[in-house]
Structure 1
Amino acid sequence: MELRVLRYYLAIVREENMSRAAEALHLTQPTLSRQIAGLERELGTSLFARGRRLELTDAGLRLARRAEELLALADKVEGEFRDDGGFVGTISIGSGGLSSTRILPAAMDEFRRLHPGVGFELYTNSAEYVKERLDAGLLDFAIMMEPVDVSRYAYARLGGKERWGLLVRSGSELARKRSVGPDDLPGTPLVSTGRPELIAEITGWLGMPMERLDIVCTFNLLTTALMLVESGTASALTIEGAVTHLDPRRFAFRPLEPALTMSSVLACKKAPPGNSAASAFLNLLHAMHSGHEKSKT
């Protein structure tokens, strides 16, 4: 299976039309059709349900997802070896909405000052998806909130803590409180993370089973649950770093009391090669973090 043909295939997926894809690729339509027919023979399945409009089959959908991953990894490898005597390419970092990501702007500025040929790709998603991309080699680094299994990674624990609280609609009864305690939650419609390890931490803080709470739904990214908070349908158990950008006229974050905090880690799949941009960036982060720690003592 050639990467070139996978790029052709994704162009058709984007355009949803063979003729438009051929034009974008500067190919004739018969040439593009032959390439895709050969790909289908190689895989032993149909990728498109052909009709007035091209639609992906189930196999076509699976291939589109895998092709995107393969091509992203191939582009990353090519970038790492496109060396003109200095570091070049892209450093990819995945994270959720964590306060600990505030270390990145200063680190990126300093690294680009030293190595202007390097760019960055920031990927935001839930911990599960970020970890999956790290495992697949699509990310150089992942910033993840503990508890998380880091036994298979090289990692560094970051400074600062992620503080948990309740995101409520401004003007609501709970918004009038300075903090939220375990007794405030039973009877309050809630949306919450679905990660089992985080549920266990929240349960320990509550001192009661989560089943005692009225969980309307779970979420993997808070952005999908904001409509429920803004409408007053439910309040969201979340971390402060995920809500700092929200309009205080519409939302209010009230910390849990007693405080529930968690640390974060910067992880990579394995120690990056010593002469790579990723290794140099990791060394810079270590130096910056060490300097920050010394400044606090």
Structure 2
Amino acid sequence: MRAKDPKVSLACGLLTAKLAGEDGKPEGKSGTVESIVAETNVVIEITETNGVTRAHGDKAAYSAANETLVLSGADPMVELGAQHVQMWSPYITIDLKNGMVNAKGPVRTKIPAGVMSKMSPGASNLKPGGTQSGLAEEHADILSDDFQFISGSGLAVWRGNVRVRDPKLAVTCELLTGTQTPESGALQSMVAETNVVIQITETNGMTTARGDKAVYSAQDETLVLSGKDPMLESASTHLQMWSPYITMGLKKKTLNAKPPVRTRIPPGAFGQPGEGGFNLKPGGPPPEEPRK
């Protein structure tokens, strides 16, 4: 079964439509479509001025009353061409009137890297003189229990058991909020909340950041950790840090922490006094050899 008009094309194995009846309907409403149910190998393409939205699933139900399209069945998928977003979920609702998409878990979304590439190596290389070793992959996968997207504002919200999967970056939290750039669809800002863990894999080790909240700002390319006991650990510099407010400057590779600050560094980082003790006198003779 195939149906097509200038803006919508539909293919499926079974199509059922309910039309408005004669009785009790305002003039001009009789014969209009109240609902449509498409089943078996459903493919829907909606052409918009800025791109094409594609939907696949076992079943698609359209309601004219609230202007929604609900996809369900085995592995429904929606691709928002204009926003460069793909999502897979057993239950996806598209609010056609308000430009909103809701997906119920388990949800998998794929988005342009954007923020993720800014946080990847060598953005996190805090070692003086470190060089950038490359960017993250073009796209990032995000798993969650729930996903909501508002196309007009570019606001994306992931809730429940959120996991960002990327070859060089991993983020886990309970709530992740991001906003898209209109041009590329990449996230230009990101706020992760509740049990936040960020792991950045580098060629010389891994950087791990933990906290109640992590905020990335594209304007100055900073990542700020805050909340209860934020902690940063860099394997490449062998540095551990605890502070209520830690700011990572990803562009200039800087690190700032507000008091009270606790740091842990490797033994011997300040040098070793040796058996003769420190020689504190400038130009003084070296300590005597211990007697045998």
**Into which bin does the TM-score normalised by the smaller protein fall?**
under 0.3
More RCO (CA 8 Å, sep 6+)? 1
The normalised TM-score by structure 2 is 0.26
Greater radius of gyration (CA): 2
More helix per residue: 1
The normalised TM-score by structure 1 is 0.25
